[in-house]
Amino acid sequence: MPIPSASLPVLRSTPEVCRTMLEGLPDDVVRSNYGPETFSPFDVVGHLVWGDLTDWLPRARHILDYADTRPFEPFDRYAMFERDAGKTTPELLAEFRSTRDSALSELGSLDLDRDDRLDLPGLHPELGPCTMRQLLATWVAHDLNHISQICKAISRSQYAELVGPWEAYITVLHQ
């Protein structure tokens, strides 16, 4: 089964979607989360940058180099908290655009559009066996999940108490 044709357009557009949603918003909105142990929109963008730097392409290269003979390096899902301290939202959004462009350029050079390459096995340190195809599909689904999380953070932190009876229809506000 090939990777869906929407995969690269989604990966390519995610930095622009984040920029469009967050540029010009007050810092208190961009840095608001919706509860304990949730990410703010700022955290989400930092997490996506960190993933582009240390997760998706390094793991694709790892599969090409080692297949499933060695597990991937663990991914620190929270590294952005320390890494991005002191950055502004515009700085982080620009970094995401640059990092994603580099990642997609490298992805294009890996010749992964052949089934024999997409079916190469890998080994996740917690989840076990996977394939290159699954890794790439997860990258796309991960982006979409975090775009949804940005929507949830803004909706819940800014509007949950203001929508009144319409809350019943606004599923992003539901727990």
pLDDT computed for residue 147 by the predictor: 98
Mean pLDDT of 156-166: 94
pLDDT computed for residue 6 by the predictor: 86
Task: Give residue 58's pLDDT band: very low, low, confident or very high (50, 70, 90).
Answer: very high
* Cα four-point dihedral sign 133, 150, 17, 161: positive
Is pLDDT of 175 > 80? Answer: no
Average pLDDT over all residues of the chain: 94
pLDDT 10s digits, 81-138: 999 999 999 999 999 999 999 999 999 899 887 888 899 999 999 999 999 999 999 9
Nearest residue to 30 via CA among 75, 84, 82: 84
pLDDT 10s digits, 74-83: 999 999 999 9
How far is Cα 73 from Cα 75, in angstroms, rounded to an integer? 6
pLDDT computed for residue 111 by the predictor: 86
Is pLDDT of 2 > 70? Answer: no
Domains and CATH numbers, the chain: 7-173 (1.20.120.450)
Residue type for position 76: D
Is pLDDT of 39 > 70? Answer: yes
Contact 150, 157 (CB under 8 A): no
